[in-house]
Amino acid sequence: MKNATITGWGKCIPQGVVTNDDLATVIETSDEWITSRSGIRERHVSHVNNSDMATLAGKRALAAAGLQPTDVDYVIVATCTPDRQIPSSAAYVQSKIGAVNAAATDINAGCTGFIYGLSIAHGLIATGVANRVLLIGSERITSYLNLEKRTTAVLFGDGAGAVVVEASVDDSGIKSMAVGADGNGAEYLTATGLGTEFIDQDSEIAIVMDGAEIFKGAVVKMGDGTVSAAKDAGWELDDIDLVIPHQANLRIIDAVRRRIKADESKVFVNIHKYGNTSAATIPSPCVRHLKRAGSHLGANWCSLPTAPASHGARQRSSGATEPSRSRRLMMNFPSRTRPALRSSWPSRRLSADDRRCPRYGRLSRNRSRNRSPTRRRRICSGCELCVEFSEG
């Protein structure tokens, strides 16, 4: 049976940042109240479609793997905030990146979506259905938030992370998976106002959650999932070099760390900068650590999602290296980019000069312009960020 390993990685983090102090201008809250209860200090908010973030993350992952879009056999997007119910976000991504040979489908499993997607990608490769899978976790969850409910409005952020999963020629890659569900906890975290259940009801779109129940279930399931996956992989808990938990709440992360008796230095935490980005919380940290290839290639990783019903997954990172600079997607962001938040979110007004292309000095409005046969300047029509890449 073929093994599956990660060979490429990329992410897309929106440039709009909303701090706790920003939220305090529209919600009865404070930086101390939010930080002490969640560990979150700021979050990123997107003003472009979810599929646009997923597309950019996917392009970066393909560039890191040294692949062309036509090399992809399967596109999987894990999200609970799709652009539309039909078609899937994966269909939009497939079209935007030009993966004309790939099948495309979404997974809606909330915060556990990326791990479920990884298990599916592993199965597709193990059975020979696909050799290369582009797996993306992407969320624009702030569009679901009700700013009158501070218990949920302060927790979430937007973002996307992507990996390329390929068949492995050695023993590196995914060693074991431990996934599960408990439908009895369905009401502990849900979104109202969406779905056929609400068609004849005057119900607003909002995230509704029972924080106490989620905390109890998450700590137990994440801890037990780690033990189960480690046992299946033939590892001891001390063999773990890096734990990447779902970034839902700093208290949950600390409780899980104590439950599995992991050293604090081995547990990745970035919730203070990004908040809970649901299906994107695990792939985004993976990107950061995979870029530090020298210290993490060949290490034992443990990734843990959390939700009212979830377990963990375990993998050994692959020995992939980044391709040469000429084959990588390179991003040049303006030093200050307009957050352009939703009208209900606190925002900062920036002048036209703040939106100028840092290289060409023009306002970021035009779609594209060829500069030479080998270098092309493209402007994303939604996020107004300059994207430059070398076609060599």
Over residues 13-32, the pLDDT tens digits come to 999 999 999 999 998 999 99
User: Which stretches of the chain are DSSP H helices?
Assistant: 20-23, 31-38, 50-65, 89-97, 113-126, 150-153, 211-233, 250-259, 271-274, 283-291, 293-296
At 290, the pLDDT band (50, 70, 90 cuts) reads low
Contact at 8 Å (CB) between 78 and 118?
no
pLDDT at position 182 is 84
At 176, the pLDDT band (50, 70, 90 cuts) reads confident
- Count CB-CB contacts under 10 A for residue 227: 14
Name the least confident of 273-282, 331-340, 372-381.
331-340
Q: Residues with catalytic annotation?
A: 111, 246, 276
pLDDT at position 55 is 97
Between residues 106 and 354, the one the model is more confident about: 106
Q: In this structure, which long-range contacts are made by residues 319-326, counting pairs with CB atoms below 8 Å and at least 24 apart in sequence? A: 319/170, 319/172, 320/5, 320/6, 320/7, 320/8, 320/65, 320/290, 320/293, 321/293, 321/297, 322/64, 322/291, 322/293, 323/63, 323/64, 323/65, 323/66, 325/390, 326/390, 326/392
Name the least confident of 63-77, 95-109, 129-143, 370-384.
370-384
167: left (phi over 0), alpha (psi -120 to 50) or beta: beta
Name the least confident of 84-93, 177-186, 290-299, 354-363.
354-363
Whether 388 shows a pLDDT value over 70: the answer reads no
Whether 150 shows a pLDDT value over 70: the answer reads yes
Strand-strand pairing, 16-19 and 42-45: antiparallel
Mean pLDDT over 144-150 rounds to 86
* Domains within the chain, CATH numbers bracketed: 3-325 (3.40.47.10)
At 256, the pLDDT band (50, 70, 90 cuts) reads very high
Contact at 8 Å (CB) between 134 and 58?
yes
Between residues 29 and 329, the one the model is more confident about: 29
Whether 101 shows a pLDDT value over 70: the answer reads yes
pLDDT at position 361 is 42
Mean pLDDT, the chain, rounded, equals 78
At 312, the pLDDT band (50, 70, 90 cuts) reads very low
Q: Ranked by mean pLDDT, which of 110-114, 198-202, 378-382 comes out on top?
A: 110-114
pLDDT at position 192 is 86
At 193, the pLDDT band (50, 70, 90 cuts) reads confident
pLDDT at position 241 is 85
- Give CA separation, 139 vs 44, 153, 379, in Å: 11, 15, 22
Mean pLDDT over 225-239 rounds to 89
pLDDT at position 200 is 83
d(CA 9, CA 3): 18
Mean pLDDT over 107-117 rounds to 93
Whether 165 shows a pLDDT value over 90: the answer reads yes
Q: What DSSP assignment string belongs to 15-79?
A: SEEEEHHHHTTTSS--HHHHHHHH---EEEE--S-HHHHHHHHHHHHHHHHT--GGG-SEEEEE-
Structure tokens at 359: 């290289």
pLDDT at position 305 is 65
pLDDT at position 353 is 40
Nearest alpha carbon to residue 311 among 111, 94, 48, 26? 111
Whether 197 shows a pLDDT value over 60: the answer reads yes
Whether 343 shows a pLDDT value over 80: the answer reads no
Between residues 351 and 225, the one the model is more confident about: 225
